[in-house]
Structure 1
Amino acid sequence: MGALSGKTALVTGGSRGIGRAISERLGKDGARIGVHYGRDEAAAKETVAAIEAAGGQAFTVRAELGVPGDAEALWTAFDAQADGLDILVNNAGINKAVDGTLKRIATVTEEDYDQLFAVNTKAPFFVTQLGLSRLRDGGRIINTSTGLTHGAAKPELIAYAMTKGALDVFTRTLAKDLGPRGITVNAVAPGATDTDMNAAWLRGEGSQAARAATGAISPLGRVADATDIGDIMAFLASNDSRWVTGQWIDATGGALL
């Protein structure tokens, strides 16, 4: 039996990148995984297939985040396939403006700002709010933050970092609120990670210098793989983390030292 056998987990943004690594690792540990996605159904089905091929159980949950009624739609889709929840991972997020670019304060529009906060901050707030009636006592809530909220400031990611700063406050406050139910709430903060989102500058032509420079920031001398983050999430989802709550977990590979 795995450490999470008999548990049910929901991973938002669980079909790609870090979310997929989280979904696969929790599935490997025995949890039945709700793999949430917004638009890429093929990726979600691939993640489910990978979990099942490894002997686990999973199902897809479709709901676009950042739009009116997103939390209600997500839980309606979840409830059709599961009865109750043990682990909620608020992982879904975006870091670019509406036009797909990174912007400094001078060029961030109200539309950019509103979309970033709608997906990264408002959605996890209300997904969690509506999920609390489904989350069993002793459960786990894990939020994906970023090293940018505690590390070197990046002007081109100002609005994104602000959304995650709010999520960090949400994490600490919710941990105190839900402690009497035995529910722990923590945030995991990755640094630069080798995922599809970062493929253009970490994997593309001429990316060797950028990859080497990024890896050199960590004392471990490499760029993070999505599985590095998924494994940390698995610890926080397990009973081994029962005395850890309200924490911001540095998952940058020591890049902030």
Structure 2
Amino acid sequence: MDTTESGRTALVVGASADIASAVALKLSDSGMTVGVHLGHRTEAAAIIARKIEETGGRAFPIVSDLHSSEGMPELWKQFDRHARHLDVLVSHADTTGRRRALIDVQLQDLDEVFDANVRLPFLLVQHALARLRDHGRIIHVASRYPYGTCDSHLLPYAMSKAAMDAFTTILAPDLRARGITVNSVGPRATRIEHVADTAAGLTENLLEHTADPDDVAEIVAFFASDDARWITGQWLDATSEPAP
């Protein structure tokens, strides 16, 4: 299936099937054809694509392991078989890593977190630029964790998320001439992550401010819309909490 030249095409690359599904469905509702990538989870990506098609939309799954040397080329090879261009790229990388005090953090811990949360999104955007049409959108599902959080046991994770926020703000002016916007959405956690977040030591108060995947998807859809064409280089706090 090829997308038409006039239609808009989105690619959602997700760490969470629930968030990827919510975002993909929301973008499909606006008339986009949506590619869905969930690593090597073939069935999960196919289920999301089927949901979209069952509601009258158009979608296609992409399966590749981005941690392998051939993963990134394979992702774009599959994308190019289905689409002639890209209009919206949504990237959600979210590996928290191991909870350890600073003195106990190993080099491997840093490598794993930064590889997933910084290196792969960076390469994803780098490869996307040749396909991204003028007036396109790059949207990162980031995190509020680096701001106002005092848990040093997830320091590599917080550092990786802060690095992606820097990537957003510095890349945005570079793409302004093409009308391409670059923005980040910063939820603290979603309902699907309650168990993991409780284990990570989140307080009861913070758990009350978690979001549903649909809440995140609505903000992503806004950034992808024409209404947000004048907004770029921004990190949007999406936690319903006061600023730190």
TM-score, normalized by the shorter chain, greater than 0.5: yes
CA shift at 1:215, angstroms? 4.0
Amino acid at match of 1:78: F
- Paired residues of 1:174 and 1:185 also in contact (CA < 8 A): yes
Distance 1:162 1:237, change over 3 A: same
> Distance between the aligned counterparts of 1:165 and 1:201, measured in 2?
19
Which stretch shows the higher mean deviation, 129-138 or 153-162?
153-162
Which whole-Å deviations, capped at 9, do the CAs of 1:6-58 have from their partners, x for residues lacking one? 21000101760222211111112211111001122111111111111222111
Amino acid at match of 2:213: A
- Per the alignment, residue 213 of structure 1 pairs with 205
Is 1:61 the counterpart of 2:62? The answer is yes
Distance 1:15 1:190, change over 3 A: closer
> Distance between the aligned counterparts of 1:199 and 1:62, measured in 2?
27
Which stretch shows the higher mean deviation, 34-43 or 171-180?
34-43
Which whole-Å deviations, capped at 9, do the CAs of 1:105-146 have from their partners, x for residues lacking one? 233221221111111101111111111010000000001211
Is 1:225 the counterpart of 2:203? The answer is no
Distance 1:14 1:20, change over 3 A: farther
Amino acid at match of 2:172: A
How many residues align? The count is 237
- Per the alignment, residue 94 of structure 1 pairs with 95
Which whole-Å deviations, capped at 9, do the CAs of 1:170-192 have from their partners, x for residues lacking one? 10111010000000000110112
- Per the alignment, residue 74 of structure 1 pairs with 75
The CA RMSD measured in Å over matched residues stands at: 2.1
What is the 5 A alignment of 1:1-257?
6-13=7-14, 16-97=17-98, 102-195=99-192, 197-199=193-195, 212-216=204-208, 218=209, 223-254=210-241, 256=243
> Distance between the aligned counterparts of 2:25 and 2:93, measured in 1?
16
Amino acid at match of 1:108: V
> Distance between the aligned counterparts of 2:74 and 2:65, measured in 1?
8
CA shift at 1:73, angstroms? 2.3
Taking only the aligned residue pairs, the percentage that are identical comes to: 40
> Distance between the aligned counterparts of 2:16 and 2:160, measured in 1?
22
- Per the alignment, residue 3 of structure 2 pairs with none
- Paired residues of 1:184 and 1:242 also in contact (CA < 8 A): yes
Distance 1:66 1:162, change over 3 A: farther
> Distance between the aligned counterparts of 1:246 and 1:193, measured in 2?
24
Which stretch shows the higher mean deviation, 62-71 or 31-40?
62-71
Taking structure 1 as the reference length, what is the TM-score of the superposition?
0.85
> Distance between the aligned counterparts of 1:75 and 1:48, measured in 2?
17
Amino acid at match of 2:229: R
Taking structure 2 as the reference length, what is the TM-score of the superposition?
0.89
- Paired residues of 1:148 and 1:154 also in contact (CA < 8 A): no
Distance 1:30 1:165, change over 3 A: same
Which stretch shows the higher mean deviation, 16-25 or 241-250?
16-25
